[in-house]
Amino acid sequence: MVKYIAMRIRGTVDVPGDVEATLNLLRLRRKFAAVILEKNQVNMGMLHKAKDYISFGEIDQETFKQLLLKRAKKEGEKPLEIAGKAIEEFIQKFWDNKAKFSDLKIKPFFRLHPPIGGFKKSTRLSAPKGLLGYQGEKINLLVKKML
């Protein structure tokens, strides 16, 4: 199953009301927040509505594993503590839609840092000249820079 990662790149100033409501539904309330979504018609519609404020694309399992190990937080802002085999099993079940974040009691969003080395493209333009909108597989490089 294809999983998408969406992250908010632009801030909260001067965002139209309908786009702000969509970002809240996606749990992207802060700059540099990220969520993992399934590919379905509803999620794709919300992503395209907020494309001028977010960057999204297909995430691979290796990047997802690094994201879980480095940025997943339990309730109370406690870091995720999980062994090697258990994380691999969870990732495989999550990819097959048999597990959820609530099974590990972690928050459904991730807070990321600004990218190490800065943005290489504009944060004001959409793809292919900028970072906003659909990025495809290139989103994995951006996520790794933001861990």
Per-position pLDDT tens, the chain of length 147: 789 999 999 888 889 999 999 999 999 999 999 999 999 999 999 999 999 999 999 999 999 989 988 888 888 878 777 777 888 888 888 888 888 888 888 888 999 999 888 877 777 777 677 788 898 898 999 999 988
Q: Please name the residue that has the structure tokens 């539904």.
A: 25
Phi–psi pair at 17, nearest 5 degrees? -60, -40
The total of structural domains in the chain comes to 1
pTM for the whole thing? 0.86
- Nearest-angstrom CA–CA distance, 7 and 5: 7
The predicted structure's pLDDT at residue 36: 94
The predicted structure's pLDDT at residue 80: 79
User: Residue 62 belongs to a domain with what CATH number?
Assistant: 3.30.1390.20
Closest CA to 22 of 43, 39, 42, 46: 46
Q: Which domain holds residue 125?
A: 3-146
Phi–psi pair at 146, nearest 5 degrees? -95, 0
What is the Cα 54 distance to its own chain's centre? Answer: 10
The predicted structure's pLDDT at residue 130: 78
